[in-house]
Chain A
Amino acid sequence: MAFLGALGRRLAMLFRGTRFDRDLDQEMRLHLDLKARRHAAGGIAADDANHAARRAFGSPLRIREESRDAWGWRWLDDVAQDLRFGLRGLRKNPTFTAAAVITLALGIGANTAIFSVVNAVLLKPAPFEDLDRLVMVWETDRNSGTTREPASVPDFFDFRVRAGSVESLSALTATQMNLTPVDGEPVRLAALRVTPSLLSLFGIEPLAGRRFEPQEDSVGAADIAIVSNSLARRTAGSAAAALGRAIRLDDRAHTIVGVVPDSTDFGTLQLLSAAAYSRSFADRGETTRVDVWIPLRGDPKAQPRENHGIFMIGRLAPGQTASSTERELAAIAATLEQEYPANRGRGVHVEPLEDVVLGRVRPTLYMLLGAVALVLLVACVNVASLLLARGAARAQEIGVRRALGASNARVLRQFAAEALVLTLAAAACGVGLALAGLRLLVAMAPANVPRLATAAIDPRVLAVSLAASLAAAALFGVVPALQARSVDLQSTLKNDGATRGAVGPGPSRLRAALVVGELALAIMLLTGAGLLIRSFWNLLNVDPGFRTGGVLKAEYQLPRSRYPVDFSQWPDFPEQHAFTAAILASAEALPGVDAAAVAGNHPLDPGFPTSFRIVGREEEARAAGWPEISVRRVTPGYFATVGVQLVRGRLLTAGDSTRAAPAALINDATARRFFSERDPLGAQIRLFGTGATIVGVVADEKSHGLSETAPIAVYLPLAQAPSADGAGVLLVRTSGDPVGAATAVRAIIRARDAAIAVFGVETLDRTVSRSVAERRFATLLVGLFAALALALGAIGVHGVLSHDVARRSREIGIRMAFGAERRAVLRLVVGQALVMTALGVAIGAAGSLALTRVLATLLFGVTPHDPATFAAAAGLLTIVALAATAVPAWRAATVDPATALRM
């Protein structure tokens, strides 16, 4: 209690500020006057009395200081003084201050931004309960070797009934639906068909309305939907107002029964992207929000086991793990294989949902974190080097202070205060940089990064970066003061040119060591960046098998209501065929269009695979376990439009019409795998229950992406194999302006049917570019970091050498006076730089060997220990280091011996 009182009094004194001094002065003056008066009364003259009084009084300044000290705030005054002085010192050296602050700010800012992203995406606990107990139950296909396949509806129902190790097994399938609003153009929405338990599995609480009831999932029940908050607001103004309203989805009215928040994203995009197929809107490569949830209405009796279209998610029962669950479900799958021939070769794979959602992104993010930590290290080292240089130059100042009686502690504290001011200024700038950097990252990042929208500056990271910088600054700000303890005061104060500022070779060597470290770190970053750049370059140079420049695509989906799909009439779907013919004719008539085609999928869309047989080789297929084949439905003009070459036989023509004999083309991969010793032409291929004659072989298209091998594929004429779901894409090859073509193409489709949503209108160039967005992002960032490290390293080299040359200018003058040529002096300086660089490269090489292994998963076409890349990095660093040496070397070579000697 007494302590609090004392503290209160002390704080009150602190806030009195200058009044304290004035009050004290007034008191002392009164004392003096009264004393003088007494002396005068004792018989001394007034002036002498005053004088005597004052002399007896003592120094008022000292009294004032001692009085202030009584309150215990002396340390605060000292610190304030140190900070003020530090600030002044920094202001008088603007280049040093700017360099140090910018360097640190870059390090702090970059680190904070990247770590905030990593935190939001990977480290923060998920917003849903039990996310760590949720698992994806994939099916696998032993014949195709795929491990992440969707399941069939009957399989799902069987698993749900028979499995005990997983609870609340739910299913979802992704789809896109046409929304026909009351006014405005039809829009394409991302939608999920779900079983009722899915929403509660994720703990998704509706903002308004309710979740689905179990009975609403039965076939024939009324059409209902749950919508996102955005959609609800767009339709009815608010979530509450949307309840009970009807929206037209795929030409059918659905009643809205619930509204969920926009952020209801448990990684849908990532989950779908990981699947072997049925990825639906996830393949568009954009950050798509799911706007509509619809009951799945899976009927195990009506859906065949051959159709695999739904994904299963469940929660692990208490005490179960992913592996124990997989064992139980695998046993069930084996039983199903026995019971149903359609399930031959199908197993299960259980994977924690977290791994599915985060798995692809984790390595990239951790790598970025490592890279940016290296950058911070380089920044700290650079600042340390700068501080050392400045400290060495202040040896004289330190000498004066110590001569005046400053204790070592006081001098150290002064330097530490300056380091503190520096770091705080850098931190302020760093926060600004971090905020801007984070916004940039979120905007630039590829669509695959989950939860990125929730990334915010993490104060913990800021604190850590700040602490690291502070430690570096304090340490290296203080080292010169420490080393100055051993300086001979007399010679320092004498202002002797030979020893002025000379604190011995110690700090110089330390600085040089720091720069070597910097260069080593820069090499590691450069090598990493180099590897990533080469991978990216390799990827871009992959021949996709189709033409990307000048080809525009426009996707659409024909709703069943107006384009009926009657399988008893297959392949005669007159409405679909008429539509295709009409838009094809209009497209070909457009000016600037060289070729046009319609297909079921565009070249980078993998589509659905299906099982197939070659007539006469059924036994072989069963024994060897033939994989499924990709099915491409195309009009005859496809190959010319997209630039796929014919290898053998003939291309599809208009003669392969609906009523003509079924024909098919296979791609080269298929021919090589199944017809290596036979002639494919004339063989009969059977799929979807019908057969077709193989009439030609075409070149491969990399429809699974540039980094994957081309899948085996069969091309069927669209007229003989229309899309069962009405999906289609119009492709045009144009020599004109793609933007104008886009508008024209949209107009063609709308002109034919105004109620259809046209989407995905872009050139194939852009589609390909988007498919490598992730790699591009990682490469760009690491490249940026490497450039940063290189620049900082160059500054470091320049700084050390400049300082060295200045320090040794007298020595150089002597050498030159004795006849040394300029060239020898140059060699001296450049030699120093080369030694530092060589050491840096050597250490960096060791570091690279260790660290680049981390990059292995992100590389393409280049090994982590690729010597050429490392050599290039080393070469670049050497060139930059030598360039940084230019100015100091020049200065050394142009030293005038006369001036230097006279110094």
Chain B
Amino acid sequence: MRKADIPPGTLELLILRTLARGREMHGYEIAESIEELSERVLLVEEGSLYPALQRLLAKGWVKAEWGATDENRRARYYQLTKTGRKQLEAEVSRFDRVFTALARVIKST
């Protein structure tokens, strides 16, 4: 499948959803997770990933801790906060509404 840009404004939603799976991940893992789940359609640009992560940190929707990878390299691990989880729900329902509306318009005769 051809690669597509992530629609603007949805990167934060994707990150939150990825982290909602429970596990704490570092930046590369988050990007890999999104790319895998979207079957390599959605490619995460690092240039947008890290600023987005900082924004989420600033808003308090995720929190980060320093830890070690399997190879003992220092990495920052992110996980969802309570506020982040609530925000995710709100964002998902909004996304659903928009997506349904879009689909209705496009699929209409």
A741 CB to nearest chain B CB (Å): 85
Contact B50 A63 (CB under 8 A): yes
8 A Cβ contacts from B81-107 to A: 83
A50 CB to nearest chain B CB (Å): 14
Cα A26 to Cα B46 in complex, Å, equals: 14
Contact A9 B75 (CB under 8 A): no
Cα A30 to Cα B47 in complex, Å, equals: 14
8 A Cβ contacts from B21-74 to A: 26-28, 31, 45-47, 50-51, 53-55, 57-60, 69, 73-74
Chain A neighbourhood of B55, CB < 8 A:
70
Contact A63 B51 (CB under 8 A): yes
Cα A27 to Cα B73 in complex, Å, equals: 10
Stretch at the interface among A53-61, A454-462, A487-495: A53-61
Contact B75 A27 (CB under 8 A): yes
B25 CB to nearest chain A CB (Å): 12
Contact A31 B47 (CB under 8 A): no
Contact B26 A67 (CB under 8 A): no
Cα A26 to Cα B69 in complex, Å, equals: 13
Given A67-B51, A70-B51, verify A27-B58 contact (CB < 8 Å): no
Contact A70 B58 (CB under 8 A): yes
Chain A neighbourhood of B58, CB < 8 A:
6, 9-10, 13, 70-72
Cα A57 to Cα B28 in complex, Å, equals: 12
Given A27-B26, A30-B28, A31-B27, verify A67-B54 contact (CB < 8 Å): yes
Interface centre among B28, B45, B74 (most CB of A within 10 A): B28
Q: Which of A2, A24, A71, A72 contacts B50 (CB 8 A)?
A: A24
A-B contacts, CB under 8 A, total: 66
B62 CB to nearest chain A CB (Å): 11
Given A6-B59, A9-B58, A70-B58, verify A57-B47 contact (CB < 8 Å): yes
B48 CB to nearest chain A CB (Å): 8
Contact A35 B47 (CB under 8 A): no
Q: Which of B28, B31, B46, B76 contacts A63 (CB 8 A)?
A: B46
Q: How many residues of A contact B (CB 8 A)?
A: 29
8 A Cβ contacts from A24-82 to B: 24, 26-28, 30-31, 33-35, 56-59, 62-63, 66-72
Chain A neighbourhood of B76, CB < 8 A:
23, 27
Cα A59 to Cα B75 in complex, Å, equals: 20
Chain B neighbourhood of A10, CB < 8 A:
58
8 A Cβ contacts from A310-361 to B: none
Contact A30 B26 (CB under 8 A): yes
For the complex, is A5 an interface residue (Cβ under 8 Å from B)? yes
Cα A57 to Cα B44 in complex, Å, equals: 10
Given A6-B58, A31-B31, A58-B45, verify A67-B73 contact (CB < 8 Å): no
Cα A879 to Cα B46 in complex, Å, equals: 72
Chain B neighbourhood of A63, CB < 8 A:
46-47, 50-51
Contact B28 A58 (CB under 8 A): no
Q: Which of B26, B47, B53, B60 contacts A6 (CB 8 A)?
A: B60
Q: Which of A9, A62, A68 contacts B60 (CB 8 A)?
A: A9
Contact A69 B51 (CB under 8 A): yes
Chain A neighbourhood of B54, CB < 8 A:
67-68, 70-71
Contact A31 B51 (CB under 8 A): no
Contact B51 A59 (CB under 8 A): no
A68 CB to nearest chain B CB (Å): 8
Cα A6 to Cα B46 in complex, Å, equals: 25
8 A Cβ contacts from A631-675 to B: none
Chain B neighbourhood of A62, CB < 8 A:
47
Chain B neighbourhood of A72, CB < 8 A:
58
Given A34-B28, A35-B28, verify A27-B50 contact (CB < 8 Å): yes
Chain A neighbourhood of B73, CB < 8 A:
30, 33
Contact A28 B50 (CB under 8 A): yes
B109 CB to nearest chain A CB (Å): 41
Cα A30 to Cα B27 in complex, Å, equals: 9
Interface centre among B46, B75, B83 (most CB of A within 10 A): B46
Contact B50 A67 (CB under 8 A): yes
Q: Which of B45, B53, B60, B75 contacts A30 (CB 8 A)?
A: B75
Cα A13 to Cα B27 in complex, Å, equals: 19
Contact A31 B60 (CB under 8 A): no
A59's nearest neighbour on chain B, judged by CB, is B47
Given A23-B76, A59-B47, verify A31-B59 contact (CB < 8 Å): no
B46's nearest neighbour on chain A, judged by CB, is A57
A73's nearest neighbour on chain B, judged by CB, is B58
Chain B neighbourhood of A56, CB < 8 A:
45-46
Cα A749 to Cα B8 in complex, Å, equals: 104
A26's nearest neighbour on chain B, judged by CB, is B74
Cα A27 to Cα B46 in complex, Å, equals: 11
A15 CB to nearest chain B CB (Å): 15
Cα A56 to Cα B43 in complex, Å, equals: 11
Cα A31 to Cα B50 in complex, Å, equals: 10
Q: Which of A5, A34, A58, A70 contacts B47 (CB 8 A)?
A: A58
Given A27-B76, A58-B46, verify A66-B26 contact (CB < 8 Å): no
22 sampled A-B residue pairs with Cβ under 8 A: A5-B60, A6-B59, A9-B57, A13-B58, A27-B75, A28-B27, A30-B26, A30-B27, A31-B46, A34-B28, A35-B28, A56-B46, A57-B46, A57-B47, A58-B46, A63-B51, A67-B50, A67-B51, A68-B54, A69-B51, A70-B51, A70-B57
| Additional pairs, 10, CB under 8 Å, beyond known A6-B58, A28-B50 | A6-B59, A23-B76, A27-B76, A30-B73, A31-B28, A33-B73, A58-B47, A66-B47, A67-B53, A70-B51
Question: Closest 10 interchain pairs by CB?
Answer: A58-B47, A70-B54, A66-B51, A70-B55, A67-B54, A34-B28, A31-B28, A57-B46, A67-B51, A71-B58
Question: CB within 8 Å of B: which residues of A?
Answer: 2, 5-6, 9-10, 13, 23-24, 26-28, 30-31, 33-35, 56-59, 62-63, 66-72
